[in-house]
Amino acid sequence: MAPSARVLVFFNLRGVAFLAAGFAAWLGLLAVGVGVFVGALAGCALAIGIDLTVRLRRPGRPLMHHDGGGMVCLVPVWMVGLFAALAATLIAVSLPPGWDRPRHPPPDAGAPR
């Protein structure tokens, strides 16, 4: 293969790391009691922020360039984050109020004190 041949980048380790950081932020926020929706948006914002920071530090490259930042499934991480934030918003808006709270009272809720 000639050195000047184009290479198709399906994903790179930077993209996987950026998305893993966003997912870890989402899980960390869930652990401290933040809602599912807020945690998902915060994780998406973190992944988008990291990817755009890396991309904007490389002048002369467009935001879609495969070597500028993270890529997953041939899509830049900042676009994956935007799609995930949009999906989280649509899901949260379409679900009934209180969908992320427990439906059953705790076992000792009716116990006399």
pLDDT value at residue 47:
92
pLDDT at 2 over 60: no
What one-letter code names the amino acid at 65? H
pLDDT at 106 over 90: no
- Give the mean pLDDT of the chain: 81
Higher model confidence: residue 93 or residue 104? 93
CA 60 to chain CA centroid, nearest Å: 26
Q: Which of 39, 65, 68 is nearest to 53 (CA)?
A: 68
Ramachandran angles phi, psi of 72, nearest 5°: -140, 130
Mean pLDDT of the region 22-38: 88
Ramachandran angles phi, psi of 87, nearest 5°: -65, -40
* β pairing state of 75-76 and 71-72: antiparallel
Residues 37-86: tens digit of each pLDDT: 888 999 999 999 999 898 888 877 777 777 778 888 878 888 899 999 99
Distance CA 7, CA 85 (A): 30
Domain boundaries, the chain: 13-92
